[in-house]
Amino acid sequence: MTDHPTLPEGPATDARAALGRVRAEVAKAVVGQDAAVSGLLVALLCRGHILLEGVPGVAKTLLVRSLAAALDVDTTRVQFTPDLMPGDLTGSLIYDAARSDFVFRQGPVFTNLLLADEINRTPPKTQSALLEAMEERQVTVDGTGHSLPTPFLVAATQNPVEYEGTYPLPEAQLDRFLLKVTLPVPAKEDEVAVLMRHAGGFDPRDLAAAGLRPVASRADLEAGAAAVRSVAVAPEVAGYIVDIARATRTSPSLSLGVSPRGATALMATSRAWAWLNGRSFVTPDDVKALAHSTLSHRLALRPEAELDGVDVGAVLASALSSVPVPR
């Protein structure tokens, strides 16, 4: 592999330092969810979206609200329910008597960070309306397109333990999410820290009182996203990513492997991770670090593998271990 230049000083370096401060700021409100914070930052830098999975009460909503406060951007939470209609999310035309005409009223999707809470509880028609907005970054009503603000990130949540009355996202729609991150129940010491914060008067509904303040700006996100796009990817590393994707397609345990879009997503997230860690080039370790969160939700087990108790994570780990690592 060829030598790579070091990162230049300038706006991109300042942006990386600012996003580093975001981690510390979010930690004032959220304890023990570092992987989810990293995933959200990577998704923002790649202009992608993230699927957060975790049982109720592991701070999914608080995490997104805290990130929005640290970045000084708008956030909206929408509780997805079986009766939620596409227009309730994207907006709709209403009659304006003063104008004697119909005008467009924006829905909650017109924000910077949208928390789509329990996305699998709403019917496919509404899910599709959100996914169209995610892909096109606009909504179309009565033939007219309405652009969404920048940045725009959807953090959709799923509850992994309760499936009654849900409409699971099909594989083709899951593939639209850049990342999937599982939020675990905190370790004992983290959970004790959470309780002590509440005992000390912490109110998750009042982040300003917790000391959260904006430490990064939209300009920092723009500078960071531009810098990520300039991170070098050697042909050997690109080949490594493709080999990982192809290994999943030939796995006997999977009915659906990683698509070319999934391989492209892994390259994008690896570049963002490399940049966040101060490098101007991607290493195989960057690829490994992001492989599970970028690829796991794009895989589908064969029915017989599910009956045998095979886990997608284990299959992906096996695929990774079977691919030679470039030097």
Give the pLDDT score at 129.
Answer: 86
Tell me: do 77 and 134 sit in the same domain: yes
- 257: pLDDT strictly greater than 60: yes
Could you read off the pLDDT of 6-40 as tens digits, one per residue?
Answer: 545 567 888 999 999 999 999 999 998 899 999 99
Global pTM reads: 0.89
Core vs surface per residue 174-211: b (16+ CB within 10 A) or e? bbbbbbbbbbeebeeeeeeebeebeeeebeeeebeebe
Q: Does 2 fall in a domain?
A: no
**CATH number (domain holding residue 43):** 3.40.50.300
Tell me: do 235 and 224 sit in the same domain: no
Instruction: Name the domain count of the chain.
Output: 2
Residue at which a domain ends, from 228, 247, 276:
228
Could you read off the pLDDT of 157-216 as tens digits, one per residue?
Answer: 987 766 666 788 877 778 889 999 999 888 999 999 999 999 999 998 888 888 899 999
Q: Does 3 fall in a domain?
A: no
Tell me: do 309 and 241 sit in the same domain: yes
Q: Does 4 fall in a domain?
A: no
ω into 151 cis (within 30 of 0) = yes
Listed as own residue / partner, the contacts of 83-86 with beta carbons closer than 8 Å and 24 or more positions apart are 84/122, 84/123, 84/126, 85/125, 85/126, 86/125, 86/126, 86/128, 86/129
> Rounded distance, CA 27 to CA 67, Å?
10
Q: Which residues pair with 301 in a beta bridge?
A: 254
Residue 104 pLDDT class (50, 70, 90 cuts): confident
Tell me: do 202 and 53 sit in the same domain: yes
- 144: pLDDT strictly greater than 90: no
Could you read off the pLDDT of 262-292 as tens digits, one per residue?
Answer: 999 999 999 999 999 999 999 999 999 999 9
Tell me: do 212 and 241 sit in the same domain: no
Tell me: do 163 and 90 sit in the same domain: yes
- Cβ contact 58:68 at 8 Å: no
Residue at which a domain ends, from 168, 203, 228:
228
Tell me: do 245 and 209 sit in the same domain: no
> Rounded distance, CA 290 to CA 272, Å?
10
**Which amino acid, residue 32?**
G
Tell me: do 223 and 138 sit in the same domain: yes
Give the pLDDT score at 3.
Answer: 52
**CATH number (domain holding residue 293):** 1.10.8.80
Residue at which a domain ends, from 228, 249, 283:
228
Domain span at 281 = 231-327
Question: Taking residues 221-250, what's their average pLDDT?
Answer: 96
Q: Does 127 fall in a domain?
A: yes
